[in-house]
Amino acid sequence: MTTERPDPPLTGGERATLRGFLDHHRATLAWKCDDLTDAQLRRRAVPSSSLSLLGLVRHMAEVERAWFRRVIDGQDVPLVWSANGDFQAAYDPGATTRAEAYAAWRAEIGEARRIERAAPSLDVTGVVARTGETVSLRMVVQHVIHEYARHNGHADLLREAIDGRTGV
């Protein structure tokens, strides 16, 4: 399987540009996981770390859910991988298969896209429950882009350690 990675637009408005960068980073993580077995996706960066490609996919499902569904849409839904609100739990894939992790991740991306597109503007706000802070959709989209960019750097290193594949 080869993931198609859309390039962000070179011109256009703020919203189209943010959507473009977010979709590019989502596709980059999927691309880093292409053509790997479940065992390869579970391979840890180092023995003392729980960081793996499968863990990153699970974590990004959690990020998408937390910021778009819980903060912007105000949904009272639990985290995907932790009933007690432990964001770190997503990094340890346990018995989760690639199919299960990808299904959860894709579902959360679908919900995030729906919520973002339904918002009349990037000025729509939500509340971060644990801090009580009000944040705009603009900040949320930029934060999620930041999360993907950061973790895609981890994915680069993990993939290179697995089979030598590199690339941006």
The domains of the chain, with CATH numbers, are: 14-163 (1.20.120.450)
Q: What is the predicted pLDDT for the residue at 1?
A: 62
Distances in Å between the alpha carbon of 95 and those of 19, 99, 117?
Answer: 33, 11, 34
Contact 77, 149 (CB under 8 A): no
pLDDT of residue 162: 94
Across the chain, which has 168 residues, the per-10-residue mean pLDDT values are 86 96 97 95 88 96 97 96 86 91 98 98 96 97 98 95 85
Residue 168, pLDDT score: 66
CB of 135 closer than 8 Å to CB of 126: yes
**Tokens standing for 71?**
């903060």
Under a CB-based contact definition with an 8 Å cutoff, are residues 31 and 3 in contact? Answer: yes
The H-or-E segment that residue 135 falls in is: strand 134-136
pLDDT at 75: 97
The residue whose two tokens read 């739990």 is 89
If you compute the radius of gyration of the chain from its CA atoms, what whole number of angstroms results? 16
The amino acid at residue 85 is: G
Compute how many other C-beta atoms are within 10 angstroms of the C-beta atom of residue 124: 17
pTM, entire model: 0.94
Q: State the pLDDT at residue 50.
A: 86
pLDDT of residue 59: 96
Q: What is the pLDDT of residue 150?
A: 96
Give me the pLDDT at residue 71, please.
Answer: 98
Q: Which residues contact 61 (CB under 8 A, 6 or more apart)?
A: 80, 81, 90, 101, 104, 105, 107, 108
